[in-house]
Amino acid sequence: MQASRFLLRSISRCRLQPSIAHQVSTPAAVPLFPWSARYSAPSCGPHRLPWTNRHLSSNAELLDQVNTDLEAVQDQNKRFCVVHISGRQFKVTSNDLIVVNQIPADVGAEIFLEKILLAGSDNFTLVGTPLLSEDVVRVRATVVEHNKTAKVIVFKKKRRKNYKRTKGHRQPISVLRINSILLNTVQ
């Protein structure tokens, strides 16, 4: 008993081929090599992918369904987009105000946001990989104002060394108003 326990420990410490694992007798409930489960075939039958839709037989039918949903949404307030501006992501709808780091545009200038990650409505969602094409979605915005944030005090101190430094920081920001989200049909 003692020798077989030592043999099992020494075998389990070294890297062996899975064929050697069957030569040593072990209880059925305790696997000798926990990594040997990776080499076994799955016991279940063929799987269906969860994202396959049995009702849509081809990509053309899927595109037709998306295009009809795009045309059905006439209300601008029901559309939404996730846009990427200066390292941050914002979920926006029509007439939203967003505060971003200062962008080089004049006040009152109309700009188009280029990096659109996702667009959608109640009935559909278009997800980019990683971005949506400008042919499909265009987001138009207006620069409302340039301003600075509230002052943040940066205070440094080292005790017993007569070292104190106080400095303030105000981050320059821009306020954007989302004018419209234009959705075109998918080709």
| SS3 call for 18 | helix
Query: 115 in a domain, yes or no?
Result: yes
| SS3 call for 93 | coil
Report the alpha-carbon distance of residue 9 to residue 77 in Å, rounded: 67
Residues 106, 163, single domain; the answer is yes
CB-facing half-sphere around the CA of 170: CA atoms within 13 A: 8
Query: 31 in a domain, yes or no?
Result: yes
Q: How far apart are the first and last CA of the chain?
A: 72
Query: 88 in a domain, yes or no?
Result: yes
Helix (H) or strand (E) holding 157: strand 152-158
Q: Which pLDDT score, from 0 to 100, does residue 56 have?
A: 44
Residues 22, 81, single domain; the answer is no
> Which pLDDT band holds residue 177 (cuts at 50, 70, 90)?
very high
Q: Could you list the residue range(s) of the whole structural domain that residue 123 is in?
A: 76-183
Mean pLDDT confidence for 36-47: 48
Mean pLDDT confidence for 1-21: 46
Query: Does residue 93 register a pLDDT over 80?
Result: yes
Residues 107, 154, single domain; the answer is yes
pLDDT > 70: percent of the chain: 65
Query: 54 in a domain, yes or no?
Result: no
pTM across the whole model? 0.62
Residues 94, 24, single domain; the answer is no
Query: 70 in a domain, yes or no?
Result: no
Nearest alpha-carbon partner for 88 in 75, 71, 101: 101
Query: 80 in a domain, yes or no?
Result: yes
Residues 31, 86, single domain; the answer is no
Query: 58 in a domain, yes or no?
Result: no
Residues 179, 88, single domain; the answer is yes
> What is the number of structural domains in the chain?
2
Residues 133, 81, single domain; the answer is yes
Q: Which pLDDT score, from 0 to 100, does residue 113 have?
A: 93
Residues 31, 120, single domain; the answer is no
Residues 102, 26, single domain; the answer is no
The answer to whether the beta carbons of residues 90 and 98 sit under 8 Å apart is yes
Query: 49 in a domain, yes or no?
Result: no
Residues 122, 172, single domain; the answer is yes
Is the previous residue joined to 130 through a cis bond, with omega within 30 degrees of 0? yes
